């Protein structure tokens, strides 16, 4: 039975890897080389051909927006900021949240109490309130948007990881490591961290999509990046008022977000399976 399970797993694993990685590489490369792919310009306004439907004119294969800008070019270019914000903010939040969750869960006591009270306070604070305060003090910019997203989201990871650590720290293999005399930081890095990657990866992939959309609401409120720079979230918001007449303005950036999240999910699943030698799916 073990033999057959293993075979099945390695098949699934390669499918997830191939599809997920291909999707992400295509999206990433086209975003990076958007200006080479579309030398005519991503921001070129052509009011004469505004709101061209898709597949109607060869110069606008996916149609054009209310200002006559090419939807395809903007979707491709929009990936730059959206991916940058989505991915870096999640990586930042994971690094901060996982570290604090590990320390709080492992050492318990006063460290844990102080950290978790702080986490609770922040969780109780509405995001918009935090965002307005933050941007009002520091001003809106790409870096500040990323920092804001990190600050608002690390708490989720801290809570999640702390809970996992509390369950793991009394398991016998952690006790066994202590009995051997393994130093605390090695127990944390070598034994605890690898055993809690599953749920963290799942939360990460979900949050990338979330952050791409949050960026657009920040831009909408005038707090995010420069509104003239194309982003998926921004395009989605712009296209909303034309949904009845020109669906393509918002559907294509939405599709781009969906494919990115799908790619990340597949890759995340693959990574989780890779990290778990038993091949059991936990969460």
Distance separating alpha carbons of residues 47 and 57, to the nearest angstrom: 14
CA angle centred on 90, ends 77 and 190, rounded to 5°: 135
Q: Applying CB under 8 A, does 46 fall inside the site for another protein?
A: no
Distance separating alpha carbons of residues 70 and 61, to the nearest angstrom: 8
Q: Applying CB under 8 A, does 44 fall inside the site for another protein?
A: no
Report CA-CA distances (Å) from 57 to 61, 63, 245. Answer: 6, 8, 18
Query: Which of the stretches 46-54, 111-119, 154-162, 178-186 binds another protein when contact is defined by CB under 8 A?
Result: 178-186
Q: Which is nearer to another protein, 58 or 181 (CB)?
A: 181
Least gap, CB of 190 to another protein (angstroms): 8
Query: Which of the stretches 41-49, 101-109, 134-142, 166-174 binds another protein when contact is defined by CB under 8 A?
Result: 166-174
Least gap, CB of 68 to another protein (angstroms): 55
Q: Applying CB under 8 A, does 33 fall inside the site for another protein?
A: no
66 and 249 Cβ atoms separated by less than 8 Å = yes
Q: Applying CB under 8 A, does 4 fall inside the site for another protein?
A: yes
By CB under 8 A, how many residues form the interface with another protein?
24
What one-character DSSP code corresponds to residue 53? P
Query: Which of the stretches 16-24, 38-46, 89-97, 184-192 binds another protein when contact is defined by CB under 8 A?
Result: 184-192
Neighbours of 216 (CB within 10 A): 23
C-beta pairs of 209-213 under 8 Å, 24+ apart in sequence: 209/86, 209/257, 209/260, 209/261, 209/264, 211/85, 211/86, 211/89, 211/90, 211/149, 211/153, 212/82, 212/83, 212/85, 212/86, 212/257, 212/260, 213/257
Neighbours of 89 (CB within 10 A): 27
Non-local (6+) Cβ contacts of 278 within 8 A are: none
Q: Applying CB under 8 A, does 228 fall inside the site for another protein?
A: no
Q: Applying CB under 8 A, does 182 fall inside the site for another protein?
A: yes
Q: Applying CB under 8 A, does 7 fall inside the site for another protein?
A: no
Q: Which is nearer to another protein, 200 or 212 (CB)?
A: 200
Residue 83 tokens, joined: 């991916």
For 57, the 3-state DSSP assignment is strand
Q: Applying CB under 8 A, does 109 fall inside the site for another protein?
A: no
Least gap, CB of 272 to another protein (angstroms): 12
Question: Interaction with another protein in 188-217: which residues (CB under 8 A)?
Answer: 190-191, 194-195
Q: Which is nearer to another protein, 146 or 187 (CB)?
A: 187
Neighbours of 14 (CB within 10 A): 11
Q: Applying CB under 8 A, does 175 fall inside the site for another protein?
A: yes
Least gap, CB of 195 to another protein (angstroms): 6
Q: Applying CB under 8 A, does 179 fall inside the site for another protein?
A: yes
x/- mask, another protein, residues 238-277, rule CB under 8 A, reads -------------------------------------xxx
Which chain residues interact with another protein by CB under 8 A?
Answer: 1-2, 4, 171-173, 175-183, 186, 190-191, 194-195, 275-278
């Amino acid at each position: 039975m073990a033999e057959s399970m293993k075979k099945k797993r390695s098949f699934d694993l390669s499918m997830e890897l191939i599809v997920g990685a291909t999707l992400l590489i295509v999206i990433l490369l086209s975003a990076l080389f958007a200006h080479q792919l579309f030398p005519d310009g991503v921001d070129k306004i052509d009011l004469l051909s505004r709101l061209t439907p898709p597949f109607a004119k060869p110069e606008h294969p996916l149609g054009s927006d209310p200002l006559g800008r090419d939807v395809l070019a903007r979707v491709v270019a929009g990936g730059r900021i959206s991916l940058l914000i989505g991915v870096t903010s999640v990586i930042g939040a994971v690094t901060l949240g996982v570290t604090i969750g590990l320390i709080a869960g492992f050492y318990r006591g006063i460290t844990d109490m102080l950290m978790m009270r702080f986490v609770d306070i922040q969780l109780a604070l509405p995001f918009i309130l935090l965002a307005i305060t933050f941007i009002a003090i520091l001003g809106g910019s790409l870096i500040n948007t990323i920092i804001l997203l990190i600050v608002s989201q690390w708490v989720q990871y801290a809570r999640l990881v702390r809970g996992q650590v509390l369950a793991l720290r009394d398991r016998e293999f952690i006790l066994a490591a202590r009995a051997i005399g393994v130093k605390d930081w090695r127990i944390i890095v070598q034994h605890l961290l690898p055993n809690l990657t599953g749920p963290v990866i799942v939360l990460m992939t979900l949050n990338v999509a979330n952050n791409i959309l949050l960026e657009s609401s920040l831009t909408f409120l005038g707090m995010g990046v420069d509104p003239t720079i194309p982003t998926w979230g921004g395009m989605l918001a712009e296209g909303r008022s034309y949904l009845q007449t020109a669906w393509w303005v918002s559907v294509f950036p939405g599709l781009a977000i969906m494919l990115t999240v799908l790619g990340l999910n597949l890759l995340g699943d693959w990574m989780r399976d890779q990290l778990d030698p038993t091949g059991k799916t936990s969460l």
